[in-house]
């Protein structure tokens, strides 16, 4: 009998098992991708599929209008503008599309590619703005060839416009296009191509100024042509915002400052409202609306004239003689002097074995405090510096708002610097020497202030110790009384310093250039060295000085503060005081009211 022959099926079973595993894995992968498409990425593909028959267009909202304090002069407005965007999803080959679009838009391919690359990580169906501020001719050319360029879409937008060009540019600020980083962080609710405030009022009040966008949902065909309208939500513009700026004062301040380098600040002494804020050189904020290329931005930022720097808030200078009122207030409050304390000025004096000079070489003779302020005598204040400790000076400077931000409601403000023993120990690892205090007593040495700080200090002196926070939005004037703070220094001490400032303007003192008849201007001038006396004599060159003026009017119930800084302007009395005089006169003429007629 023949035994049956059995075939060994083990290899076949192994191969079948392997095939089964492979098929199972492939099936699992297919199921995973179906799950990913249907569940995980449902929203993305639903949006894409809907976009084949509907198109949602954002209707940009215009920004709130900015006006002067009277509300009748528009400082920042909106105009209708056209822009063209590219939708990458509608292109077969992006590079070929850019090459075809380049001559139509009059832009180099490199510039187009640069704009596209900036937003390359965003979804393909998102429009990317490639050119804005289109003329009507450009719009008609693009619309006329819409069938040839389905990737291009024309949109309208309200464009920010500053009708007076560079007028109050540093106060108003400028807008810039949001970067991809901005869209991922602080502006998650905004879209590519949007502009937002970066500096000044535009930046500080961005959420108050930006409107609420509307939207339009359209039915479109395969070529992107509108067939029907499903939904429309109109954009909402926010109410206009009135600033504290006085148009006439601002215009004159800019006119008087043109061609110089410096800053002018005028404050409402009763509220802290900024009546004028001028900085020169300046810029035209309209240019920022047209989307700078990186090269254009670098060129502007590196301009040696630094037009983007707001010298009123960001310029830090030695105060020179306009620091003397602060010295006088401290010495009076400490009881080191009275207003009748006299010192003799012979044109120079020895302190700690070293000669210190007065600006008036023949000398002023014997002076009390009001006369020392009127004549701005250095020797008088050198004597105060010998009697006061640097930490006492720093304490009173701090009480008057120096060496710290004023809290003005726009960004970029610098703190300045008031030296002290602790400051020198920390920064230089050395003790403070009494001889250094002599220079600080006349506003020299490491002391640094901004024009806005000086204006705020002057307003505090004018108000006999009451301090208002500087601000640029008119509605904050109503809150000024609530936010006002009061120093512990007695009002009578401020009155004694004000007497000297009044004499400076009205009794042929250094501030006489600011005198205005029947307005009781109180003034203090200053000139700060940019190189020391010894250095100028050693090198045989003329000393260059910055010109300062600060003052207020009228003496009783003060209304306006004016502070002026002119870089390399020379003497403060000759260069800055006459400018202040014209601003005081304009304010007086504008606010004087003729008395009613007493009869026919």
Q: Give me the active site residues, please.
A: 321
CA 469 – CA 452 distance, rounded (Å): 11
- Report the DSSP beta bridge partners of residue 355: 350
How many Cβ atoms are within 10 Å of 350's Cβ, its own excluded? 9
CA 264 – CA 251 distance, rounded (Å): 11
First to last CA, the chain: 157
Note whether 69 and 144 are within 8 A (CB). Answer: no
Task: Provide the 3-class DSSP secondary structure of residue 230.
Answer: strand
Closest CA to 375 of 398, 347, 409: 347
- Report the DSSP beta bridge partners of residue 56: 217
Match 């179906």 to its residue by tokens: 34
Q: Tokens representing 49?
A: 């599929």
Note whether 409 and 272 are within 8 A (CB). Answer: no
Q: Tokens representing 586?
A: 């304009």
**Residue 128, by phi and psi: left (phi above 0), alpha (psi -120 to 50) or beta?**
beta
Match 């670098």 to its residue by tokens: 298
Q: Tokens representing 19?
A: 């095939």
Please name the helix (run of DSSP H) or strand (run of DSSP E) that holds residue 399, with its range, or none: helix 390-399
- Report the DSSP beta bridge partners of residue 58: 215
């Amino acid at each position: 009998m023949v035994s049956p022959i059995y075939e060994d099926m083990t290899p076949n079973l192994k191969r079948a098992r392997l095939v089964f595993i492979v098929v199972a894995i492939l099936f699992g992968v297919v199921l995973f991708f179906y799950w990913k498409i249907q569940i995980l990425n449902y929203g993305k593909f639903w949006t894409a599929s809907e976009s084949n028959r509907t198109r949602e267009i954002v209707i940009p909202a215009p920004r709130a209008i900015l006006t002067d304090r009277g509300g009748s002069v528009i400082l920042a407005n909106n105009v209708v503008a056209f822009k063209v965007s590219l939708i990458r999803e509608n292109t077969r080959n992006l590079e070929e599309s850019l090459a075809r679009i380049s001559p139509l838009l009059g832009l180099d391919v490199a510039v187009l590619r640069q704009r596209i690359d900036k937003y390359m990580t965003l979804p393909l169906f998102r429009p990317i703005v490639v050119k804005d501020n289109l003329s009507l001719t450009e719009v008609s050319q693009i619309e006329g060839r819409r069938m040839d360029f389905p990737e291009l879409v024309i949109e309208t937008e309200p464009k920010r416009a500053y009708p007076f060009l560079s007028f109050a540019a540093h106060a108003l600020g400028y807008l810039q296009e949001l970067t991809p980083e901005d869209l991922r962080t602080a502006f998650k609710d905004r879209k590519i191509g949007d502009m937002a405030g970066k500096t000044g009022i535009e930046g500080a009040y961005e959420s108050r100024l930006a409107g609420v966008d509307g939207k339009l949902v359209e039915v479109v065909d395969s070529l992107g042509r509108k067939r029907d309208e499903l939904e429309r939500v109109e954009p909402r513009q926010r109410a206009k915002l009135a600033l504290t700026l006085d148009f006439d004062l601002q215009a004159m301040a800019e006119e008087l400052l043109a061609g110089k380098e410096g800053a002018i600040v005028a404050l409402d002494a009763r509220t802290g409202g900024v009546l004028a804020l001028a900085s020169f050189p300046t810029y035209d904020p309209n240019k920022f609306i047209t989307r700078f290329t990186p090269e254009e931005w670098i060129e502007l930022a590196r301009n040696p004239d630094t037009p983007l720097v707001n010298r009123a808030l960001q310029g830090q200078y030695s105060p020179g003689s306009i620091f003397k009122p602060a010295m006088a207030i401290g010495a009076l409050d400490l009881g080191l002097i009275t207003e009748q304390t006299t010192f003799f000025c012979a044109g120079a004096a020895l302190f700690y074995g070293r000669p210190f000079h007065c600006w008036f070489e023949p000398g002023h003779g014997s002076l009390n405090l009001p006369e020392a302020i009127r004549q701005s005598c250095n020797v008088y204040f050198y004597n105060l510096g010998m009697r006061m400790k640097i930490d006492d000076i720093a304490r009173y400077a701090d009480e008057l708002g120096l060496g710290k931000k004023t809290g003005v409601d726009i960004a970029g403000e610098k703190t300045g610097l008031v030296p002290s023993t602790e400051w020198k120990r920390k920064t230089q690892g050395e003790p403070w020497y009494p001889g250094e205090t002599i220079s600080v007593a006349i506003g020299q040495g490491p002391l640094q202030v901004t024009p806005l700080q000086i204006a705020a200090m002057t307003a505090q002196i004018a108000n006999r110790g009451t301090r208002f926070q500087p601000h640029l939005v008119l509605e904050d004037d109503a809150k000024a009384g609530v936010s006002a703070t009061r120093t512990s220094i007695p009002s009578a001490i401020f009155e004694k310093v004000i007497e000297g400032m009044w004499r400076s303007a009205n009794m042929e003192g250094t501030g006489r250039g600011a005198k205005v008849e029947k307005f009781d201007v109180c003034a203090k001038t200053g000139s700060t060295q940019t190189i020391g006396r010894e250095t100028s004599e050693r090198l045989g060159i003329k000393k260059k000085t910055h010109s300062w003026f600060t003052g207020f009017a009228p003496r009783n119930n003060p209304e306006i503060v004016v502070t002026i800084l002119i870089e390399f302007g020379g003497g403060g009395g000759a260069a800055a005081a006459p400018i202040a005089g014209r601003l005081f006169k304009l304010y007086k003429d504008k606010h004087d009211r003729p008395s009613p007629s007493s009869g026919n």
